[in-house]
Structure 1
């Protein structure tokens, strides 16, 4: 199916809100809501696929495999976290080509040193701004279609302060980034000022439990953002549901308790595609019996 164009959505001035999809169960459930965009988070992809922290441990190949699967399963157009581009300039070129072929509509690259760390955890270090500028230029040149957008993220707020982060954002926009992303801003005042000073489309990260205030899409649009990601939502919701279910199971010794509603099994069979399997089996069972 044809996915929604992020480039066209931003050009139209329509605010883009993309919830994170941490695994394929979240993706098939989200398909029932006809979302135009969704986000593939490095943190939650690594956690759900490998049970590991977002600390540069997962490889490019592992992440590409997960992103490719998500693009196939989800009806939404996928905005994908590509960490640092998984290395130097040649790696960035290879990453952009691979993610674009996977089917994403935007590729997010950050200016952290390798191995990177989650943007809302400590001990992040950034590369020199000129190194990231070169990565952005390589990323823009590597893409086959200008429908594939490059999102440039800076993690400099922690080490270089707000002014340092804004300075990098301006440089990244000048280098050709389609969208600029200042990670871990710490107040609505900083968010508003960043949007005032950087004229490129700005993306906000609404990471539940992180350092940035969580605002609604309407509030973010009013501040001046063009788009926002909500990367933690389905992952944290799923973790809470599992914790609640396990607590009820330990207490009652059964999965069937009023304390934990379960998704309807028959409905999930429909979402995951079993009707097509059953129809295939009915067809071929008839053909075999006729022969």
Structure 2
């Protein structure tokens, strides 16, 4: 009932232990708190909170318009709804190194298990669009050092994302990844890799886990979990997939309302009321009410 029973520090500890096993952990992107609970119910290992989704939820493009307050607040709403660890997209850290430090502590306070900080310039843009620019190596390193130094829970995962592959090629991405690990990054997010061989090359070059971003309509092919596991990927995210599925279904439903005036033909596609009530633990709330409100107003 209400929120997750596992405290944030324990989620982080368990996540780090599982990540250390080397298995591939699956983190679908949650577009709201209820979808995070569904991800847990369906047996996945974690929840991803996408910056693009948080922006889209506000009707904004993913170009660095959201604030730390908005991201941390929505992240907390999502993370507290599940016992799974949540990794959040912290963009460029919302400013200079001191801002990065504040970002990490704010996300710790929000109950997040880990965050990735990228090396794009401000304002950033979606990692799978053309025209990106990255900061110099020294600036990228300072961001990660600030994040590592600021965290209070050593199990909070500081992940470094590099977008340099699309600009200067794979060798540059590997070189930067190594420097980011030397700066203290616990994991590497090499954005917009084009082949399995590129993922394998990054994994071989760094001694920390790597993340694969399987976003649709992007630069990377949509590799399967078994393919990614075979080349040593440790975390895979599908950041916007559930939002895209939900919005696609909503668009089709609205078209049907325009054409037919009702949604009878779509009933089989809907989440049944009984399934929704089970997901939000309606019975648990009713049981709690029954146990609390047991007084008899007729007696004084």
Q: Do both share a fold (TM > 0.5)?
A: yes
Partner residue in 2 for 1:24:
33
Report matched runs for 1:37-52 at 5 Å: 37-48=46-57, 50-52=58-60
Contact 1:136 1:152 in 2 (8 A): yes
- Equivalent pair of 2:26/2:44 in contact (CA under 8 Å): no
1:143 to 151, 171, 191: 151
Count of paired positions: 290
Residues 255 and 185 (structure 1), Cα distance of their counterparts in 2 relative to 1, 3 Å cut = same
Q: Distance between the aligned counterparts of 1:284 and 1:259, measured in 2?
A: 37
SS at 2:101 equivalent: helix
**Alpha-carbon RMSD:** 1.9
Counterpart CA distance in 2 for 1:265 and 1:85 is: 40
Q: Retained in 2: the 8 A contact 1:248–1:260?
A: no
Cα offset, 1:279, TM superposition: 4.0
CA distance in 1, matches of 2:294, 2:180: 61
Displacement of 1:151? 0.5
1:255 maps to which residue?
263
- Correspondence 1:238-253 to 2 at 5 A: 238-253=246-261
Q: TM-score, normalised by structure 1?
A: 0.93
**Equivalent residue for 1:133?**
141
Contact 1:208/1:214 (CA < 8 Å) preserved in 2? yes
Match of 2:188 in 1: 180
Deviation at 1:28, TM superposition (A): 2.9
What residue in structure 2 maps to residue 112 of structure 1? 120
Higher mean displacement: 185-194 or 269-278: 269-278
CA deviation vs aligned residue, 1:87-115 (integer Å, no higher than 9, x gap) = 00111110100111211111110011111
What runs of 5+ residues in structure 2 fail to find an aligned partner? Answer: none
Aligned match for 2:94, one of 86, 108, 112:
86
Shift of 1:192: 2.4
SS in 2 for 1:180: strand
Q: Distance in 2 between matches of 1:57 and 1:120?
A: 17
User: Whole-Å Cα distance in 1 between the matches of residues 77 and 109 of structure 2?
Assistant: 12
Question: Structure 2 CA distance, aligned partners of 1:250 and 1:290?
Answer: 53
2:70 to 50, 62, 68: 62
